[in-house]
Amino acid sequence: MTTATHHGFFTPDFLAQLERLSVASRRTFRGRAKGERRSPRKGQSVEFSDYRPYGVGDDLRYVDWNIYARLDRLHVKLFVDEEDLCLHLLVDASNSMGFGQPTKLAYAARLAAAIGFVGLVNLERVGVGVLREKVSEGWPPVRGRNQFVALVDFLVSLKSGGATSLNEGLANYAMRAREPGLVVLVSDLLDPQGFEAGVRALRERRFEVHVVHLLDAEELNPTLGGDLRLHDSETGEVRELTVDGDALRAYRERLHVFLERVEAFCRTQEIGYRRASTDTPFEEFVLSHLRGLVLA
């Protein structure tokens, strides 16, 4: 039994299905090492790209002699260079992510591990940023499927704690990251200050951003009732209230407005968006709902 399956994250069959997937990016990025994705640079792969005039020192093996015969000019063939992508997995680990059974953070960690596995087996570089008030810790970008066990060990060790400051955390990550790439943010987005400014900061640094909006089933369809004393897990605020039909209707209306606002922002900013409930079977969500977003 591997460490990954020992942690209960994945079954061998699920890993086999993930191996057939790849990370889907709408853009090309300049990578650091040879990989399996199209690069904006021209190189020497087997896929033809273009021609350019011959220059002193060019390899004569790449001269197109058919063009020379027709035009009496030397041109060399250019080929698509294949490089790796840097995949940035940003996981919200604030106190609110500790809610539910399983907790939202546990579900988020499994999502990050699954996406990270796909990146690693496809020779992409994969890094993790943990968001609380800011980027409190991280796992620097690495490459190679042999890094997967270490990735799982890192993610399984995460504990929820601290307040949420998504705008500050995302902006901080955008400034600290050495190069842009594809960002997958997994968060409940329950920050009174919003998350939009932080996402804009990432986009200004030329990151391609995708959001997985993760909520607990009780948050989407609350079953509470009666006289309650509620504690805010991040601010410590205590509020006593009676949860009746009117209160539940008001809650659902506010939730609807919140979800509509999030979706509208992502749509207008051309940000990939998927919403998940923690009662959705994990493997179904990854193989069905994430395909077409960050997996292909």
Burial of 43 (0-12, 13-18, 19+ CB in 10 A): middle
Residue 79: pLDDT over 80: no
What pLDDT score was predicted for residue 255?
Answer: 96
More confident residue, 185 or 59: 185
Which residues are CB-neighbours of 281 under 8 A, at least 6 positions away? none
In the DSSP assignment, the letter for residue 96 is G
Location of structure tokens 């977003």: 293
Considering 13-27, 191-205, 226-240, the range whose residues carry the highest mean pLDDT is 191-205
What pLDDT score was predicted for residue 45?
Answer: 47
Location of structure tokens 């998350």: 195
Q: Are 170 and 90 in contact (CB under 8 A)?
A: yes
pLDDT digits (tens, 9 = 90+) for 26-55: 665 554 444 444 444 444 444 555 667 877
Domain at 3-28+84-289: CATH architecture = 3-Layer(aba) Sandwich (3.40)
Helical axes 104-121 vs 148-156, angle rounded to 10°? 170
- Name beta bridge partners: 240: 229
Domain boundaries, the chain: 3-28+84-289, 39-82
Tokens of 208: 């391609």
Residue type, 186: V
List of E strands, the chain: 34-53, 75-83, 86-92, 125-131, 135-143, 182-187, 208-215, 226-231, 238-243, 272-277
Which region among 43-47, 147-151, 175-179, 224-228 has the lowest average model confidence (pLDDT)? 43-47
Which residues are CB-neighbours of 293 under 8 A, at least 6 positions away? 24, 210, 272, 273, 274
Q: Are 117 and 2 in contact (CB under 8 A)?
A: no
pLDDT band at 166 (very low <50, low <70, confident <90, very high): very high
Query: For the chain, how long is the longest CA-to-CA vector?
Result: 89
C-alpha 176/C-alpha 73 separation (Å) is 48
pTM: 0.80
What pLDDT score was predicted for residue 72?
Answer: 81
C-alpha 164/C-alpha 240 separation (Å) is 23
